[in-house]
Amino acid sequence: MAGAEVRTEAASPAAKFNWPRLVAGIAVLVVAAIIPYSINDQPLNIVSQVLYLAIAAMGLNLLTGFNGQVSIGHGAFYGVGAFTSAILVVNHGWTFEMTIPVAAVTAAVLGALVAFPALRVKGLYLALITLGLAVLFPVVTKKFVKGSGGVALLQPDRKQVSSMFPDMLADEQYRYFVCLAVLLLLILLTYNLMRSRVGRAIIAVRDQEVAASTVGIDVARVKVLTFMVSAAYAGVAGALSVMVLRIADATNPLVYFQLSIEFLIAMVIGGSATISGPVIGAIFLVIIRRQTDEGTDFLPKLLGVADRTEQLAPALLGITLILITYVLPEGLVGGFRKLKSRFVQRAGQPGAKVSTEHSST
């Protein structure tokens, strides 16, 4: 028994620290810092899209993955963030960076307005309510927002979203670093939130709502708060999309519904209820999206359907979602964790035997 106690003490804080994760995180940051200096403007613009789509998927993951509230309407919160930023920049002359927190707050307020009536419903009924929000958003926007030509489309000038440090960073590099900085900040926020008392309450409401209420958790408050934070993430992503794409567009009545589905796909592919899953899912989402663009048709050519790339991209998203759901129901991150735990289990079996025999003697 004394030997067992010694091993326990020796294995405390330093042994528990996850050095491989730290090394992997540093490696990812180094690669992220090198990217804008090693690729051209157009590919860098695509990488920036990955970053803000990852933020939107992360927001949905907070609501659906960690809290269990199903939403198919996060495209509307994304759109609110995009148009809030575009209106402030184009019509009121704000600098873009100042519009990001305003977009987050505006989307969070809309999230609260949706969350309160949504407290009475759950599951598929909540999904239908949020779906209606995504479909309704372009219709409402067309009535109140008029850009050039009288349509619901706003386009900031290049100067309005240009680099604040032109001598150090080109415009595309600056936009990339802004997106990267915001993503890293929100990842850190999510990481700390889910390990806090509030995060444990969010997960408890998802797993056992009645039990959570019994132990004193205010279920309604937790749900509304999660909805607001989740919507704020989507609003930030929408604002960043205006900086990267220089457009806020509500002329297509289905665009925000499609975005809502894409956020859900990114979350599922990467792994729901994980921190890094939405980022990985966003990478896959943009790769498949790019199959519809000229010059990135290597996969259509490989499959012999190069003349039908527009039909191929949605099909690829559907096929990928089905395969991931069937083969890896917990997403890519969940699948990697299972593989890692099995490998560690097998590698640790002989050591476990020795340890048991030693302690018994």
Residue 223 shares a structural domain with residue 346: no
Residue 53 shares a structural domain with residue 158: yes
Residue 344 shares a structural domain with residue 246: no
Residue 361, domain extent: 337-361
CA-CA-CA-CA torsion for 165, 166, 171, 175, nearest 10 degrees? -10
Check residue 13 and give its pLDDT: 45
> Is the distance from CB of 72 to CB of 131 less than 8 angstroms?
yes
φ, ψ at 275 (rounded to 5°): -80, -45
The answer to the question of residue 282 being in a domain is: no
Check residue 38 and give its pLDDT: 93
Residue 198 shares a structural domain with residue 341: no
The answer to the question of residue 147 being in a domain is: yes
Which string of DSSP letters, residue by residue, matches 14-63?
A: HHHS-HHHHHHHHHHHHHHHHHHHHS-HHHHHHHHHHHHHHHHHHHHIII
Check residue 313 and give its pLDDT: 60
3 state SS for 226-274: HHHHHHHHHHHHHHHHHHHHCCEECCCCCHHHHHHHHHHHHHHHHCCCC
Tokens of 163: 């680099």
Domain end residue (candidates: 237, 252, 267): 252
Residue 146 shares a structural domain with residue 241: yes
Residue 229 shares a structural domain with residue 354: no
CA distances from 60 to 46, 77, 361 (A): 21, 10, 53
Residue 132 shares a structural domain with residue 228: yes
pTM reported for the whole predicted model: 0.87
The answer to the question of residue 2 being in a domain is: no
Task: Kindly state the DSSP code that residue 161 receives in the 8-state scheme.
Answer: G
Residue type, 244: V
Check residue 302 and give its pLDDT: 47
CA atoms within 13 A on the CB side of 65: 29
Check residue 232 and give its pLDDT: 98
Residue 353 shares a structural domain with residue 230: no
The answer to the question of residue 124 being in a domain is: yes
Length of the chain: 361
Task: Kindly state the DSSP code that residue 154 receives in the 8-state scheme.
Answer: E
Domain end residue (candidates: 252, 284, 314): 252
> Is the distance from CB of 195 to CB of 203 less than 8 angstroms?
no
The answer to the question of residue 49 being in a domain is: yes
φ, ψ at 39 (rounded to 5°): -130, 165
Question: What sign has the CA pseudo-torsion 195, 196, 199, 203?
Answer: positive
Residue 116 shares a structural domain with residue 245: yes
| Mean pLDDT, each 10-residue run in order, the chain (361 residues) | 42 58 89 94 94 97 95 96 97 95 98 90 88 93 88 93 93 97 97 95 94 94 96 98 96 91 93 94 88 50 49 67 81 85 74 43 44
Tokens of 149: 């030509």
Tokens of 70: 């199903």
> Is the distance from CB of 292 to CB of 309 less than 8 angstroms?
yes
Check residue 347 and give its pLDDT: 75
CA-CA-CA-CA torsion for 288, 292, 295, 298, nearest 10 degrees? 50
Question: Per the structure, how many domains does the chain have?
Answer: 2
The answer to the question of residue 128 being in a domain is: yes
Per-residue burial over 115-140, b if 16 or more Cβ lie within 10 Å, else e, is beebeeeeeeebbebbbebbbebbee
For 222, the enclosing helix (H) or strand (E) is: helix 219-245
The alpha carbon of residue 264 and the mean position of all alpha carbons in its chain are separated, in whole angstroms, by 9
Q: Among all chains, which residue has been given the structure tokens 């198919």?
A: 72
The answer to the question of residue 185 being in a domain is: yes
Check residue 353 and give its pLDDT: 45
Domain end residue (candidates: 252, 282, 314): 252
The answer to the question of residue 62 being in a domain is: yes
Angle formed at CA 199 by CA 196 and CA 202, multiple of 5 degrees: 155
